[in-house]
Amino acid sequence: MTERARLHVVGDEAEIDVEAAERAARDLLVALGADLEHEALRDTPRRVARAYQELLTPQPFHLTTFPNDERYDELVMARSIPFHSLCMHHLLPFHGVAHVAYLPGERILGLSKLARVVDMFARGLQVQERLTKQIATWLESELKPKGVGVVLEAEHMCMTIRGVQKPGARTITSALHGIVRDDPRTRQEFLALAGLSDARPM
């Protein structure tokens, strides 16, 4: 039986055919001139397929929320959440940190879930702009907060090891919803907490 896993591709789910991926990795290596009879390369197609399976398979989780009994009405932020993803244009990694905040409504969120939401959407073939928007839109839809703010800072291997080859260059994207977008004070508070206090309003 063909082994399959679930692949998160731009917000939709598709299946990963691990055996087919291994065959494709073998064909690619041969096309690149690799000698697969060499002891160090003999198992590389399997390792490549498993690596991509791991990188592209989000871990399921249960969204845990609690009543906002204290009527907390200030921003809740998880800052500098590490993440990695795969550029859908080159299949090269990009990695960085996410700053995710929300202004509670009737419910508050288990803190670890902010990191899990980032991971859920990062484990797929992505572009940073879409990833940023997906995280913010999902939190707004599932949590019904008064506002959401997401900032991603990432370094893209497709920009640092190929093409223009500019190591250290970081791309910053943001998605702001609700009060975080519409209220200037809350907006600036979020940007300051995200470490972007010197930035002009986005």
72 with 128, same domain: the answer is yes
pLDDT, mean of residues 48-75 = 92
**pTM for this predicted structure:** 0.87
Angle made by CA atoms 139, 10, 108, in degrees to the nearest 5: 10
pLDDT, mean of residues 82-109 = 96
- State the CATH number of the domain containing residue 38: 1.10.286.10
Whether residue 91 is contained in a domain is answered as yes
pLDDT at 13: 53
36 with 87, same domain: the answer is no
Structure confidence by residue, pLDDT tens digits, 4-40: 434 444 445 568 999 999 999 999 999 999 999 999 9
| The total number of structural domains that make up the chain | 2
170 with 76, same domain: the answer is yes
